[in-house]
Amino acid sequence: MAKILSRYELEQADDLKTLDLEEKTLNYLSHKELLETIQCKIEEAKSDNVSIDCLKSLEEQLKTALSVTRARKTELMMELVKTHQEKEKLLREENQSLTNQLIKMGKMKKSVEAEDARAMSPESSSDNKPPETLLLLK
């Protein structure tokens, strides 16, 4: 799991460094506008009224938008994984605490049962014990 997380972190860092996405996205259209523009240009391309440079520019914008979307999705997934790891850690600690409490309660119960058993045993009752003075007479 750690290998996967580190690989995704490296990929995300590489994407952000190589594309310098934040600066590029400021110069481009929003995703919705970009898709609408591309659709219009493709329809125009069918009638051969669109330049190659225009289509290449739109392609670059689309790739950048896709990279930004993927980077954001990866970031959100990483946050979710970290949140789940923290929650798992807390649950493990709580589980350990509850286990310790159960062990303590079990020990207390056993000691109480042992005391009750000693109190109920015939050896502990004073009726069955010979008086200590008799031992001295022997």
Residue pair 27/61 in contact by the 8 Å Cβ criterion: no
**Which domain, by its residues, includes 10?**
2-115
Q: Which two tokens stand for residue 117?
A: 């058993």
3-state helix, strand, coil in the chain (%, to 5): 85, 0, 15
Tally the domains of the chain: 1
**What pLDDT, in 10s, does the model give residues 64-100?**
888 888 888 898 999 999 999 999 999 999 999 999 9
pLDDT one-digit tens code per residue, 1-54: 677 767 767 777 666 555 555 555 555 657 777 777 777 777 766 666 667 787
Does some domain include residue 126? no
- Cα–Cα distance, 82 to 2 (Å, whole number): 11
41: in domain: yes
Distance CA 126, CA 132 (A): 11
